[in-house]
Amino acid sequence: MKAVIQRVSRASVTIEESQVASIENGLLILLGIVNEDTIEDINWVVKKIVNLRIFNDDLGIMNRSLIDIQGDAIVVSQFTLHASTKKGNRPSYLKAAKPEIAVPLYDSFVKQFEIVIEKSVGTGEFGADMKVELLNDGPVTIIIDSKNKE
């Protein structure tokens, strides 16, 4: 499971000219799922994200987590995070989980995230053509991979 976490001043997701999610201060999370992902991957990634100390404290030092600031989040499924560009110039998405595996894991990720931060999380729509807008604050962008826990 890969996640690209972006600290945002604002973010939104629009599908077919209708805004389906919008937040102010918080995180935009792009989530890529592979067939091998499990509930253990979900739990590890959620715990890691909500506890990342990437928000400024009163001294302007990145020392506070999403939980500390009671921030909001949007989680968007993004299979292209598992693109392989090894051969040629057209990316291969064979590593990305098929919808029958990815959708239940994505839904479980969102539910677990909501439980941990004790509030609703904005989402996109799995498989939809989405327009994602954000104002990256910092910029702060972090990549987490449950198969490579660095």
38 among known catalytic residues: no
109 among known catalytic residues: no
Structure tokens belonging to residue 32: 């890529």
Catalytic pick from 19, 38, 70, 80? Answer: 80
pLDDT at 127 exceeding the cut of 90: no
Per-residue pLDDT band at 111 (split at 50, 70, 90): very high
Catalytic pick from 6, 55, 79, 112? Answer: 79
Please give the domain boundaries of the chain with CATH numbers for all domains.
2-145 (3.50.80.10)
pLDDT at 85 exceeding the cut of 80: yes
pLDDT at site 26: 98
79 among known catalytic residues: yes
Distances (CA, A) of 80 to 6, 28, 37, 115: 17, 16, 16, 27
What integer is the mean pLDDT of 106-120?
97
* Strands (DSSP E) found in the chain: 2-15, 18-23, 26-32, 55-56, 62-64, 72-77, 122-123, 130-145
Catalytic pick from 6, 55, 78, 109? Answer: 78
pLDDT at 115 exceeding the cut of 80: yes
Per-residue pLDDT band at 149 (split at 50, 70, 90): confident
Q: Is 64 helix (H, G, I), strand (E, B) or coil?
A: strand
- pLDDT tens for 2-32 read 999 999 999 999 999 999 999 999 999 999 9
pLDDT at 150 exceeding the cut of 80: no
What integer is the mean pLDDT of 39-64?
97
pLDDT at site 132: 97
Note the pTM of the prediction, 2 decimals.
0.94
